């Protein structure tokens, strides 16, 4: 199978034009935005030209379907509120190139997918979570984004395009190529990582309600300040986690909304995201207990109320041994001495797809380990190396 690296890179650059923003190769293409939908329509046209049948499922996940049984390749084409040109897009465009190359070479049938809302505007890897059967569409529809819009409302923008769910039994397995989004390959000067496991995640919203009041006249001892509660909560969980976490465990408060959000008002309400990730489900559970205990204790001590939103989460997942072996053999051939096996600290659609079929993943380096930022980038030589390794694995599996 001969891939065409020039065509692959040119498609990647073209896809970046949908939502191109910020410095360098930044992208703003959140799920269901105008840029996201336009990018999907563009991809559907590329799939058609490649002899695949474009099909959107009810979530807006776009498939390019080969006839009959096939291997599924892909990732996602939505972005974070500020993201780079490769997170997700790389796996989709590499899949498209390999589908074309395999067809030309009379190789195995390859279908392509771009999952919707991998970046979790509404949930956590929402499109593939729904497709995997772990979340009913009616329940997903009630999820809200950070501005309070429901998923039902957002996906109505795609309504004329949407069809039925795709039967997963038509696929023999799933391979996802992605940027590493961490520092290890770049630091070691290696081109390829073959993923062993994907970590688990928990994610929820927490809300403190205290009392809104005047910032000049309210004495400190009478305040029920929701932001002060959040600050204390943050300091205390960092302390309490010490005996529970490992150097691989991570936790993040990435979104905070204060009400009414003004300099001269003691905030009466604070809503914030609490997310934590680890490779061990039991540890994720212990961390949840600590979070709930501390949040409630702080509320009691400061005279506020606390409430917890819907808990979203995915369990850690091990990659399929035989798909992984095909990637390793191909890495050995195309990136001899410059690849490693490694876990994934980022989440991926492959976690959910593993409910339906065997899955495996391949990483290429992220320059300076940066992602979920406009500065995200990868050397084009490494992008091409990853494409070759993935194509070699598909040929082996065929
Ligand atoms: C996916 O983008 C993640 O947050 O790991
Ligand atoms: Mn991604
Ligand atoms: Mn991402």
Tens digit of pLDDT for each residue in 165-183? Answer: 999 999 999 999 999 999 9
Distance 107 CA to ligand 3 centre (A): 31
pLDDT confidence of residue 128: 98
Average pLDDT over residues 227-244: 98
37's tokens: 């939908």
Nearest-atom index, ligand 1, CA of 371: 2
Residues 6+ apart with CB under 8 A from 348: 75, 118, 125, 176, 178, 198, 361
Residue 236, pLDDT above cutoff 90: yes
Average pLDDT over residues 359-364: 98
pLDDT confidence of residue 54: 98
- β-partners of residue 208 are 270, 306
Distance 31 CA to ligand 1 centre (A): 14
Residues 6+ apart with CB under 8 A from 196: 318, 319, 324, 341, 342, 343
Query: Cα(93)–Cα(113) distance, rounded to whole angstroms?
Result: 10
Query: Cα(13)–Cα(86) distance, rounded to whole angstroms?
Result: 10
Local structure of 171: helix, strand or coil: strand
Residue that is written with structure tokens 């009630």 in the block? 142
Residue from 115, 120, 126 whose mutation best tests the ligand 1 pocket (most atoms within 8 A of CB): 120
Residue from 279, 372, 373 whose mutation best tests the ligand 1 pocket (most atoms within 8 A of CB): 372
Question: E strand or H helix at 314, and its extent?
Answer: strand 312-314
What pTM did the predictor assign?
Answer: 0.94
Query: Cα(342)–Cα(385) distance, rounded to whole angstroms?
Result: 17
Query: For 135-170, b where at least 16 C-beta lie within 10 A, e where not — what string?
Result: beeeebbebbbeeeeebeebbeebeeeeeeebeeeb
Average pLDDT over residues 314-342: 97
pLDDT confidence of residue 392: 98
Average pLDDT, the chain: 97
pLDDT band at 151 (very low <50, low <70, confident <90, very high): very high
Residue 295, pLDDT above cutoff 90: yes
Q: Which residues surround ligand 3, an ion (CB under 5 A)?
A: 87
Nearest-atom index, ligand 1, CA of 372: 2
Residues with CB under 6 A from ligand 1: 119, 346-347
Q: What is the pLDDT of residues 75-133, one digit of tens each?
A: 999 999 999 999 999 999 999 999 999 999 999 999 999 999 999 999 999 999 999 99
Residue from 197, 250, 346 whose mutation best tests the ligand 1 pocket (most atoms within 8 A of CB): 346
Nearest-atom index, ligand 1, CA of 277: 5
Distance 125 CA to ligand 3 centre (A): 9
Q: What is the pLDDT of residues 2-28, one digit of tens each?
A: 999 999 999 999 999 999 998 789 999
Distance 87 CA to ligand 2 centre (A): 4
Residue 263, pLDDT above cutoff 90: yes
Q: Torsions phi, psi of 179, nearest 5?
A: -75, 150
Closest-CA residue, ligand 1 atom 1, reads 347
pLDDT band at 271 (very low <50, low <70, confident <90, very high): very high
Distance 209 CA to ligand 1 centre (A): 29
Q: What is the pLDDT of residues 375-388, one digit of tens each?
A: 999 999 999 999 99
Distance 179 CA to ligand 1 centre (A): 11
Q: What is the pLDDT of residues 26-48, one digit of tens each?
A: 999 999 999 999 999 999 999 99
Cβ atoms 57, 164 nearer than 8 A: yes
Ligand nearest to the CA of 75: 2
Residues 6+ apart with CB under 8 A from 217: none
pLDDT confidence of residue 121: 97
Residue 191, pLDDT above cutoff 90: yes
Closest CA to 62 of 83, 79, 47: 47
pLDDT band at 136 (very low <50, low <70, confident <90, very high): very high
Closest-CA residue, ligand 1 atom 2, reads 119
Nearest-atom index, ligand 1, CA of 348: 1
pLDDT confidence of residue 23: 78
Ligand nearest to the CA of 198: 1
Residue 368, pLDDT above cutoff 90: yes
Query: Cα(228)–Cα(234) distance, rounded to whole angstroms?
Result: 10
pLDDT confidence of residue 24: 83
């Amino acid at each position: 199978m001969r891939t065409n690296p020039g065509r692959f890179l040119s498609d990647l650059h073209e896809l970046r034009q949908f939502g191109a923003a910020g410095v360098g190769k930044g992208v703003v293409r959140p799920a269901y935005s105008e840029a996201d939908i336009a990018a999907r329509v563009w991809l559907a046209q590329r799939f058609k030209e490649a002899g695949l049948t474009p099909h959107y499922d009810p979530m807006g996940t776009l498939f390019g379907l080969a006839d009959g049984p096939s291997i599924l390749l892909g990732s996602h084409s939505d972005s974070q509120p500020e993201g780079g040109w490769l997170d997700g897009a790389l796996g989709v465009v590499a899949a498209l190139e390999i589908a074309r190359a395999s067809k030309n070479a009379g190789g195995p049938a390859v279908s392509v997918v771009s999952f919707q809302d991998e970046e979790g505007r509404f949930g956590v890897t929402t499109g593939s979570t729904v497709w995997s059967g772990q979340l009913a569409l009616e329940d997903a529809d009630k999820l809200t984004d950070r501005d309070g819009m429901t998923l039902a409302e957002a996906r109505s923008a795609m309504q004329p395009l949407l069809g039925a769910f795709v039967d997963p039994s038509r696929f023999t397995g799933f391979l996802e190529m992605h940027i590493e989004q961490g520092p290890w390959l770049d630091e070691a000067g290696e081109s390829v990582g073959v993923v062993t496991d994907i970590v688990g995640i928990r994610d929820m919203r927490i809300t403190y309600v205290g009392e809104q009041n005047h910032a000049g006249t309210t004495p400190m001892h009478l305040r029920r300040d929701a932001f002060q509660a959040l600050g204390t909560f943050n300091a205390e969980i960092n302390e309490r986690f010490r005996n529970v976490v490992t150097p691989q465990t991570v936790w993040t408060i990435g979104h905070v909304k204060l009400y009414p959000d003004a300099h001269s008002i003691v905030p009466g309400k604070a809503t914030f995201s609490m997310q934590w990730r680890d490779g061990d489900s039991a540890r994720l559970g212990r961390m949840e207990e600590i979070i709930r205990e501390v949040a409630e204790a702080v509320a009691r001590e400061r005279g506020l109320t606390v409430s917890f939103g819907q808990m979203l989460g995915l369990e850690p997942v091990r990659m399929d041994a035989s798909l992984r072996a095909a990637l390793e053999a191909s890495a050995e051939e195309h990136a001899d001495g410059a690849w490693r096996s490694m876990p994934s600290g980022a989440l991926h659609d492959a976690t959910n797809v593993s409910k339906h079929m065997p899955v495996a993943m391949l990483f290429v380096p992220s320059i300076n380990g940066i992602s979920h930022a406009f500065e995200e980038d990868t050397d084009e030589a490494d992008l091409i190396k990853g494409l070759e390794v993935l194509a070699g694995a598909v040929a082996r599996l065929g």
